[in-house]
Amino acid sequence: MKLADIKELTAKELLSRKRELREEFFNLRVQQQGGQLEKPHMLRTIRRNIAKIETVLSAKTRPTSAK
């Protein structure tokens, strides 16, 4: 996912997408432990997408300072 795409989503959509990615990450980890993981690069990609989503979520939920 690109950062621009993530920024367009609402907080509720971001939470939903984060949950889906965490489930997918877990499933890939289970496959890795069983020696059946065909695309090991997906672990890194999903982990980075989760981090992007968490960053955007924290920015959206942070109260803006009035100057």
Nearest-angstrom CA–CA distance, 1 and 8: 12
> Please, what are the domains in the chain?
3-60 (1.10.287)
Nearest-angstrom CA–CA distance, 27 and 44: 14
pTM for the full predicted model: 0.86
Nearest-angstrom CA–CA distance, 33 and 65: 46
Number of other CB atoms surrounding residue 4 within 10 Å: 7
- DSSP character at residue 66: P
Nearest-angstrom CA–CA distance, 62 and 39: 36
Q: What is the pLDDT of residues 17-49, one digit of tens each?
A: 999 999 999 999 999 999 999 999 999 999 999
